[in-house]
Amino acid sequence: MAQIIASGVAMGCIYALVGLAFILIYNASGGLNFAQGEFVMLGAFAFFTATTIQLPYWAAVVVSVSVIGGLGWLFQKFLFYPLKDRSFLYFVIVTIGFSIFARNLALIVWGPNPLKVPPLTSVDVVSLGGVAMSPENIAIICVTACLLLLQYLLFFHTDLGRKLRATAQNAQTAQLMGIYPRRMIGITFIMSGAIAGFAGVLLAPIFLIDTDMGGAVLLKSFIAVVIGGFGSIPGVVIGGIGIGLIEILTAVYVSSVYKDAICIAILIVFLIAFPRGLLGEAVKERG
């Protein structure tokens, strides 16, 4: 049972990371980026390519995360900013279009066959306090904890973080205070892309990499955001781990056939009965 819970927590950490990337953009711009799953998918493919050319594991991670972070910056420059003064629905439609484009581009570049990245180590299982866990799951939990800690320190203990939070709260007021909102939003998109890319890197040694992997991750991550509440980083962590646990417990004790249906049912319940989620705010268009 403990091993099952540990696996659920590890998968939930992935959903929490992608959800974090999702709400960083929401907090900064009010937009919902439904291409976030494709950033995960491209991160996994980039990591596969980096390991294929025999880069050391650490270098492959750095290169992959940097590439997807750079893609995040290009995304905001050429797709977000031309639409920033329009309804957020325009941006949602564009992100869906980019998602379709990214999947087809990946299909052309890497082909239709699923790909596999070598495991993190030659050790299959590590025992921690009597709980058997794979090195990859341990890495996912540790990296997620470190990234959340770094995010907290950045946003609440640095000048850059204060500027990012000021821009997220009110870009016009932040500009009057000498902050450059466009630069801050650009940094936010880089961070969001890098986090999603990192999630793809963490998934690559565990699952087969294909062009459809981003959609499944996005769905569960979006459910985590809805459960936790839009705009709430602690909420998305709670929601992500909760969905990860529900998913694996359903697969083990009921059937893997029903795990997605149960997650979607939870999404519907929260959207109808608890639109603010556990710790966040209701979704609204920002003027």
* CA dihedral sign, ordered 52, 71, 150, 222: negative
Residues paired with residue 133 on neighbouring β-strands, in sequence order: 126
Torsion of CA 22, 189, 103, 87, to 10 degrees: 70
Does residue 126 lie in a domain region? yes
The answer to whether residue 77 is domain-embedded is yes
Band (1; pLDDT cuts 50, 70, 90): confident
Q: How far is CA 166 from the centre of its chain?
A: 23
The amino acid sitting at 85 is D
Number of domains in the chain: 1
- Hunting for tokens 């974090």 — which residue is that? 20
Instruction: Tell whether 273 is covered by a domain.
Output: no
pLDDT in tens, 74-85: 999 999 888 877
Per the CB < 8 A criterion, the answer to whether 252 and 214 are in contact is: no
Average pLDDT over every residue of 33-60:
95
Residue 280 confidence (pLDDT): 66
Position 141 scores a pLDDT of 94
Report the range out of 26-30, 91-95, 105-109 with the highest average pLDDT: 105-109
- Look at residue 33 and tell me if it is in a domain: yes
Structural domain includes residue 12: yes
Q: What confidence score (pLDDT) does residue 84 get? A: 79
* Percentage of the chain lying above the pLDDT 70 cut: 97
Helix, coil or strand: residue 209:
strand
The one-character DSSP state at 86 is S
pLDDT number for residue 281: 59
CA 40 – CA 250 distance, rounded (Å): 24
Average pLDDT on 261-268 reads 92
Q: Highest mean pLDDT range out of 62-71, 74-83, 133-142, 232-241? A: 62-71
Q: How far apart are CA 17 and CA 64, in angstroms?
A: 16
Would you put residue 281 in left (φ > 0), alpha (ψ -120 to 50) or beta?
beta
Per-residue confidence band for 2, with pLDDT thresholds at 50, 70 and 90 = confident
For 133, phi and psi rounded to 5 degrees? -135, 150
Helix (H) or strand (E) holding 128: strand 126-128
User: Which amino acid type is present at position 255?
Assistant: S
Helix, strand, coil percent content, the chain, rounded in steps of 5: 75, 5, 20
| Residue 198 near residue 16, CB atoms below 8 Å | no
Mean pLDDT, rounded, for 178-193: 94
Q: Is residue 281 part of a domain?
A: no
Tokens at residue 44, please? 């996994």
Residue 119 lies in a domain: yes
Query: With 50 as the cut, is the pLDDT of residue 287 above it?
Result: no
Residue among 230, 216, 218 nearest 270 (CA): 230
Q: What is the mean pLDDT of the chain?
A: 90
Query: Is 9 contained in some domain?
Result: yes
Closest CA to 192 of 61, 60, 72, 40: 72
Domain of residue 25 covers 2-211
